[in-house]
């Protein structure tokens, strides 16, 4: 008998009928997955290997679109640096402030429920409305923040009109929208056993030591979750940066998704835009893999010995 031989199992009539019903019930999901996930993924990779402008038939170029991005495109290196700066600084800062605010809102303070609602509200406000509010606040001529600075005879800050201030200003908006992360941290903090804090107090631990040795290790899986979701969202950030700066000034906020949009719907280079989409996907996969790979060093799971 061959080493790889096997006996094909015969299904009973009942099992065949159950299989048909199961396939029938999951057919809407299968249709949606193939139509809206699998086909667009395959089509984008196909177009990334072609020159395509929506009008003329695609012309096969191989990996020339990818080679152009990393060798001859004068803007792509700056776009990549802008995105890495925004994600590398903005996401960790956003998670840090979300964790800090969650700890404050976890204390017994007056109006705690009200403050929780206020902190979460930016997460559900439409991006267009948020952009309009921040555009008013940060405007150089009539913005509220610079109006206060003028009244105090302090120099104004060119938030969105200076290349040096544009990315930090967008990071400030990113920090403001961390309401969902705050709620997740709050749920995790309430699950930390009180007995651990009591044991730490008996050992003479200070509040800072309790934070380092009890709170952070116990919520470290949530920190990892928020970091990964934050990185994924950061690399795909488009709406607020586009509405506030449109990639300016001097391409200082031209992020990957804005560059993709401009390549596709301004320059009508669908092949190049598809290549940018795949670059974004590869970067996200690499960052996620690194996070999971290094998580064993600093993530604590209560059920593990």
Give the single-character DSSP code of 9.
P
120 φ/ψ angles, rounded to the nearest 5 degrees: -80, -25
Question: What's the CA gap between 131 and 177, in Å, rounded?
Answer: 11
111 φψ region: left (φ > 0), alpha (ψ -120 to 50), beta (else): left
Top CATH class of 67-295 equals mainly alpha
Q: What is the H or E stretch that residue 140 is in?
A: none
The alpha carbon dihedral of 60, 62, 66, 72 has a sign of negative
Give the single-character DSSP code of 215.
I
Q: What is the pLDDT of residues 214-225, one digit of tens each?
A: 999 999 999 999
Question: Would you say residue 64 has pLDDT above 50?
Answer: yes
Confidence of residue 174 (pLDDT cuts 50, 70, 90): very high
Question: What's the CA gap between 51 and 180, in Å, rounded?
Answer: 41
Contact 86, 170 (CB under 8 A): yes
Record the pTM: 0.89
End-to-end Cα, the chain, rounded Å: 45
Q: Where in the chain is the domain with CATH 1.10.3720.10?
A: 67-295
Give the three-class secondary structure for 222.
Answer: helix
Q: What is the pLDDT of residues 239-298, one digit of tens each?
A: 999 999 999 899 999 999 999 999 999 999 999 999 999 999 999 999 999 999 998 888
């Amino acid at each position: 008998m061959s080493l790889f031989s096997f006996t094909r199992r015969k299904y009973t009539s009942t099992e065949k009928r159950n299989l048909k019903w199961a396939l029938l019930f999951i057919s809407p999901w299968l249709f949606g997955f193939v139509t809206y996930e699998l086909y667009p993924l395959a089509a984008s990779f196909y177009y990334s290997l072609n020159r395509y402008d929506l009008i003329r038939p695609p012309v096969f170029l191989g990996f020339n679109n990818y080679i152009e991005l990393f060798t001859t495109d004068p803007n792509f290196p700056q776009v990549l640096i802008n995105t890495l700066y925004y994600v590398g600084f903005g996401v960790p800062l956003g998670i840090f402030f979300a964790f800090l605010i969650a700890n404050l809102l976890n204390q017994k303070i007056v109006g705690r429920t009200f403050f929780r609602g206020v902190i979460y509200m930016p997460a559900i406000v439409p991006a267009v409305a948020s952009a309009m509010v921040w555009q008013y606040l940060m405007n150089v001529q009539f913005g509220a923040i610079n109006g206060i600075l003028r009244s105090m005879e302090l120099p104004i800050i060119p938030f969105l009109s200076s290349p040096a201030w544009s990315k930090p200003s967008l990071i400030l908006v990113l920090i403001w929208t961390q309401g969902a992360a705050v709620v997740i941290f709050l749920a995790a903090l309430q699950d930390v056993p009180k007995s651990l804090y009591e044991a730490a107090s008996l050992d003479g631990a200070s509040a800072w030591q309790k934070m380092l040795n009890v709170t952070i290790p116990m919520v470290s899986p949530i920190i990892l979750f928020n970091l990964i979701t934050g990185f994924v969202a950061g690399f795909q950030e488009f709406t607020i940066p586009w509405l506030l700066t449109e990639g300016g000034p001097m391409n200082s906020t031209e992020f990957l998704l804005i560059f993709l949009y401009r390549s596709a719907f301004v320059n009508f280079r669908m092949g190049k835009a598809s290549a940018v989409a795949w670059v974004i996907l590869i970067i996200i996969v690499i960052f996620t893999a690194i996070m999971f790979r290094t998580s064993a060093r600093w993530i604590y799971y209560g059920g593990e010995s």
